[in-house]
Amino acid sequence: MKKKSILIVALLFFSAAISSSFKNANRDNNPPGEFEILLEYLETNASYLQGDGFPIIMADEVRKNLKNPKQHIIDIRTDSWFEYGHIKNAANVASSDLLDYFKTKINPEEFEQIVLVCYSGQSAAYFTSLLRLAGYDNAYSMKWGMSSWREDFAEGTWLKNTSNDFATNLEVDEKVKEEKGEHPTLNTGKTDAKEILNVRLEELFAVPYKEYIIKSEDLFADPSNFYIINYWDEAKCDGHIPGSLHYHPNASITKDLITLPIDEKVVVYEETGQKAAYVVAYLNVLGYDAGNLAYGENGFMNTLLKKTGGDAFTKKEINMFPVIE
């Protein structure tokens, strides 16, 4: 009888210990939040952020496929600019309506290429990035926008905004990335990755791209007001904006995310501002406060890019292709 009592006490003690260990384990291993859930999902849906895999195509390729029914062109410029002149068979869709357009107005799977066109290629790249994250892997942006289609379109965009105003303000010292910090908190109320993503996309498509533009003069006025990312290999750079950090295109942007601040404006730049726009969209989906440097390095060191063989905008990039007026 005494042995049975001892055995019962031992079993009760063992059971309590196991229960306590499970409770401690639950405290130490909290379930993933919305950010972690979404990040894990996007890791396999944003391969274009690595290397040179950005879905950017040239104007001459778009023109060659004008008669191809498998190509669909979407012009996201204003009604007035669209009426002034647009590519044949292009549909005029406001950026805020893009997600609904893909879901209800067309069958995206019918096309090999759905090409977004804007003024300079930057806003088209931004919204193409969002569409890619939404799962539309046949979405592309046209490089340089309508500026590469005809000269009168370039006059008010690339030709007007390329400059060398801050080409002498560069530095070569490399700033050290921060250690792992906090990440943004998402509050969509959803627990499924696709549902979280859909809420985030609906929110971002409703915001005009101009809200994410940072001008060179504002950035150089006081770089310390921003967390600046040079999305380029420093070995290929002749200098970078003071205080900026290099995030390599051939490295893991996901891994680098843990070093980004959540209490500063993150500004991304590279040569044209178009690849940067893809990165900015990705960061904004995850809840970071990210913006794009308008016209990239072309906006402050265009001549230097020409001299070093960089991706500089010149009149050679401008075609004289026909438009519908």
pLDDT tens series, the chain, 325 aa: 444 444 333 333 333 343 333 333 333 466 789 999 999 898 877 777 765 589 999 999 999 999 999 999 999 999 999 999 999 999 999 999 999 999 999 999 999 999 999 999 999 999 999 999 999 999 999 999 999 999 999 999 999 999 999 999 999 887 777 777 789 999 999 999 999 999 999 999 999 999 999 999 999 999 999 999 998 876 777 789 999 988 876 556 667 777 899 999 999 999 999 999 999 999 999 999 999 999 999 999 999 999 999 999 999 999 999 999 9
State the helix-helix crossing angle for 274-285 and 122-133, rounded to 10 degrees: 40
pLDDT score of 174:
75
pLDDT score of 252:
61
With 0-12 CB in 10 A as exposed, 13-18 as middle and 19+ as buried, what is 256? middle
**Residue in the block written with tokens 């969509």:** 188
Query: Does residue 221 sit in helix, strand or coil?
Result: helix
What is the C-alpha separation between 37 and 155, in angstroms, rounded? 44
Which amino acid, residue 164? N
pLDDT score of 12:
36
Query: Does residue 137 sit in helix, strand or coil?
Result: coil
Residues 6+ apart with CB under 8 A from 63: 87, 319, 321
Q: Residue 167 has which token pair?
A: 């080409």
Predicted TM-score (pTM) of this structure: 0.89
- Strands 290-293 and 213-214, how do they pair? parallel
Give the DSSP per-residue string, 42-90.
Answer: HTTS-GGGSTT---EE-HHHHHHTTT-TTEEEEE-S-HHHHHH-B-TT-
What is the C-alpha separation between 236 and 270, in angstroms, rounded? 11
Which amino acid, residue 243? G
Give 183-196 pLDDT, tens digit per residue: 999 999 999 999 99
Count Cα neighbours of 203 within 13 Å in the Cβ-side half-sphere: 14
Q: Residue 148 has which token pair?
A: 């590469």
